[in-house]
Amino acid sequence: MMRRRAALALLCLGSASCALLTKLTTVTAMPLTVVSYNIRHGAGMDDKVRLERTATTLRALDADFIGLQEVDEKVARSGNADQAALLGGLLGMHHAFGAFMDYQGGRYGLGILSKWPITRATPLRLPDGNEPRVALLVDVTLSDGASITLVNVHFDWVDNDNFRYAQAKVLAAVLDTLSTPYILMGDFNDQPGSRTLKLFQSRAKNATKPSDAHFTFSSTEPVKEIDFIFTAPAARWTIGDVAVIDERMASDHRPVRAVVALKPR
């Protein structure tokens, strides 16, 4: 793109049309819709595993990237389905899965779906809590050739935050080494003001939810804000519309959706 601009600048040198050509060739940031959703392995509030219902909920959000927490891969309780692959197929998206642990004949963990090609997927082992944990880092290439990293997390859930904070510190250290802009999303199991959230707020831009509709758990009686989307470096991203989706049946969490845009260098 820089070569194209330089060539056009030479062509229009001394011409009255230069300003117009410059305006037409200016790169604008492409909006990207990001969703984070703890899907409870497809089990709704009726305790029935219906992954098609999960897909219907997600399809309506028309996301470019989706971070999924509580995902099963060939686990007995969810009919031995490869849930990340199945949701990717239903939504026409690329998929990646990161396993926490073996469970009921399969594996349990989290996933990422992307409309854009995935060039690398890396599960990052985090310190154990009540269960083993990983963060899933996925590199994708956008239509303009830009590379970004998607990061999905599901931190420990106990009231004492020692496990969560230990997991967050390991992830933060890795994020500090990234050369690509990144989107961090997930079920943090912690609320604004906690030291876990402050760790990421000091590094990234929070997709701030509406003050009158910011709770994400539970889906039927939301009283906690524990699901978040961040972007970094903060100067490279703009954040537009952010919403917590009023979906009460498909999971015990509500989805979070944010429209973000990566500024050109």
- Within-domain flag for 68: yes
* Residues 212, 201: Cα–Cα separation, whole Å: 21
- Within-domain flag for 16: no
Tokens read off for 89: 């197929």
Tokens read off for 54: 């999960």
- Within-domain flag for 168: yes
pLDDT tier at 23, thresholds 50, 70, 90: very low
Is the pLDDT confidence value at 14 over 60? Answer: no
- Within-domain flag for 255: yes
Mention every residue, 6+ apart, whose C-beta is less than 8 A from residue 46.
Answer: 249
Is the pLDDT confidence value at 27 over 70? Answer: no
* Residues 224, 193: Cα–Cα separation, whole Å: 12
Mean pLDDT of 210-236: 98
Domain of residue 60, residue span: 30-262
* Residues 217, 225: Cα–Cα separation, whole Å: 6
Tell me, what CATH number does 210's domain have? 3.60.10.10
Q: pLDDT by residue (tens digit) across 121-141?
A: 999 999 999 999 999 999 999
Tokens read off for 131: 């269960």
- Within-domain flag for 234: yes
- Within-domain flag for 1: no
DSSP letters along 27-59, please? --PPEEEEEEEE-GGGB-TTS-B-HHHHHHHHH
Is the pLDDT confidence value at 4 over 50? Answer: no
* Residues 136, 153: Cα–Cα separation, whole Å: 7
Q: What DSSP designation does 251 have?
A: -
Across 14-18, 91-95, 226-230, 240-244, least confident range = 14-18
Q: pLDDT by residue (tens digit) across 169-183?
A: 999 999 999 999 999
The residue type of 233 is P
* Residues 184, 138: Cα–Cα separation, whole Å: 11
- Within-domain flag for 13: no
Query: In this predicted structure, what is the pLDDT of residue 28?
Result: 60
* Residues 29, 211: Cα–Cα separation, whole Å: 27
- Within-domain flag for 14: no
How many separate domains does the chain show? 1
Is the pLDDT confidence value at 2 over 60? Answer: no
Can you give the pTM of this predicted structure? 0.90
Query: In this predicted structure, what is the pLDDT of residue 15?
Result: 43
